[in-house]
Structure 1
Amino acid sequence: MIGDEPSVETVETTEWEAVFWDIGGVILELESVQSAHAAFVEGIVEECDLEMTVEAAVDTWRTAVGDHFREREGTEFQSAREAYAKGVEALVGEPLPRERWEPAFEDAVRSSIEPVPGAVETIADLAERDLHVGVISDVDDAAGKEMLEAFGVREHFDSITTSEAVGRTKPDPAMFETALEKSGVDPQRSLMIGDRYDHDVKGADEMGMRGVAFGAEDGPAVSFRIESAEDVLEIVEDADPGA
């Protein structure tokens, strides 16, 4: 009835329609991933009694993993799972069945990965607003979702768009087109938070989205620059999408 007070607290609306997040370097602290991989490699060195230092083994692992991704053509998706298998093969000198190494790898990741400071709280805050909150990330689908689950934020996302699901990597337009189709939002009223200029910020800008640089280098596609995850809230609250 007219004059009745609302029974629940209303959430302040915003002119922005969506906030999309990359995962690595934006939600997921990359140094913690490197620590997880180093711990896993150290375990392989010990288990297989490899005649190399841990430092040399980590270098061998990272080179093999990096070579796997460099072999892809253009923005074609390359599975991280396959890259890690190549890393193990480079260490031990032969392919190993996944059941020999994958459980240890997953344990190392689960016990080591950490979120970027403030990211979890900011995502939870955005989820309470009249916004579409999404992910656009170059990750294996299951692994990306497991990371978000581990940080307790998966339930806050309205959509999750991964390279494995799309078959391409950023800055391929298909990544951003897929996310926008899922959300049904106006690209010009959408923010894309990323730590890489060409892949995240410029790729989003070319689709009409507004790029938010979080550690990414400068360039004409940068609409906003933030120093912490919480700074996103200031953009949502104070910045005009039409400006």
Structure 2
Amino acid sequence: MTDDAAHATDTEAVLWDIGGVLVELRSVREGYAAFVAELAADAGRDPDAALETWQSVLGDHFRGREGNQYRLARDGYEKATAALFDGDPPADWLETFEAATKPALRPEPGAVETVEALAEAGYRQAIVSDIDTPEAHRMLEAFGIRDRFDHITTSEAVGYTKPDERMFQDALSALDVAPERAVMVGDRHSHDVTGAAALGIRTVGYGEEAWGDQADHEIEDLREILELLGVES
């Protein structure tokens, strides 16, 4: 981690990505698999083949977007589910999806305690994530930390994905915090880090895919953020 403790007292807000930062991505994929397995069992289909189809259709949905314009994840989930039922998904597919995926969700190591410690220390916190709004709330509520965030910026609400500057500006405006007094924590250099850095937000790259020349700090454990900001854990 870069030694930049002189900036710690200047920081008022911490901006967080969700997937791969607060939420373990493997747990998200496990939830998808549990959902599809339940559908496959009801339809008498092979679960592995059903999951392959479901993932392929979902991937095509996201790849079909134009530039940084956002495509709703739940529209992709519906398309992928419909593909398993000849274009006619069960009427209660969304309820089944939420019930199957929620128990699988796991936070990244140290995520919950770091969010809690920052809140207790008086830092304002916001989400800046390429995600549907209801899904963001559902994930944070699953970990009991929804009330630790002063604002949630999602790509559904803004209409664009990171690194589009509107994502970061939305959070800064809601918090009424200047870019130089905020820190962005993300796991992708090309989205989270470069997008935030372009606005003058200090950046914390979590994991190797976020490390690079635009990352002010490179960490492997989220609890390092507390040290960076001088917060006692």
Same fold, TM-score > 0.5, yes or no: yes
Instruction: Compute the displacement of 1:168 (Å).
Output: 1.1
Matched, 1:220 2:223: no
Q: Counterpart in 2 of 1:8?
A: none
Q: Is the 8 A contact 1:60 1:90 kept in 2?
A: yes
Aligned equivalent of 1:17, options 12, 15, 18: 12
Structure-2 change in CA distance of 1:135 and 1:198 (3 Å): same
Instruction: Compute the displacement of 1:48 (Å).
Output: 1.2
Give the Cα–Cα distance (whole angstroms) in 1 for the partners of residues 60 and 152 of structure 2: 27
Structure 1: gaps (5+ residues)? 1-12, 239-243
The residue type paired with residue 98 of structure 2 is E
Is the partner of 1:24 in helix, strand or coil? coil
Matched, 1:145 2:140: no
Within-5 A mapping of 1:1-243: 14-50=9-45, 53-99=46-92, 101-215=93-207, 216-237=209-230
Give the Cα–Cα distance (whole angstroms) in 1 for the partners of residues 196 and 130 of structure 2: 14
Q: Is the 8 A contact 1:14 1:130 kept in 2?
A: no
Is the partner of 1:222 in helix, strand or coil? coil
Q: Is the 8 A contact 2:13 2:181 kept in 1?
A: yes
Instruction: Compute the displacement of 1:112 (Å).
Output: 1.0
Is the partner of 2:75 in helix, strand or coil? helix
Deviation string for 1:111-135 (max 9, x for gaps)? 1111111111110100012322111
Q: Per residue, is there more helix in 1 or in 2?
A: 2
Instruction: Compute the displacement of 1:95 (Å).
Output: 2.6
The residue type paired with residue 182 of structure 1 is A
Q: Is the 8 A contact 2:186 2:210 kept in 1?
A: no
Structure 2: gaps (5+ residues)? 1-7
Q: Alpha carbon RMSD of aligned pairs, Å? A: 1.5
The residue type paired with residue 136 of structure 1 is V
Segments of 4+ in structure 1 off by > 6 A? none
Q: Is the 8 A contact 2:193 2:210 kept in 1?
A: no
Taking every aligned residue pair, what percent have the same amino acid on both sides?
45
Is the partner of 1:213 in helix, strand or coil? strand
The residue type paired with residue 85 of structure 1 is E
Give the Cα–Cα distance (whole angstroms) in 1 for the partners of residues 198 and 49 of structure 2: 41
Instruction: Compute the displacement of 1:15 (Å).
Output: 2.4
**Total equivalences in the alignment:** 223
Instruction: Compute the displacement of 1:97 (Å).
Output: 4.5
Give the Cα–Cα distance (whole angstroms) in 2 for the partners of residues 157 and 206 of structure 1: 24
Give the Cα–Cα distance (whole angstroms) in 2 for the partners of residues 111 and 149 of structure 1: 12
Instruction: Compute the displacement of 1:92 (Å).
Output: 2.2
Instruction: Compute the displacement of 1:208 (Å).
Output: 0.8
Q: Is the 8 A contact 1:119 1:229 kept in 2?
A: yes
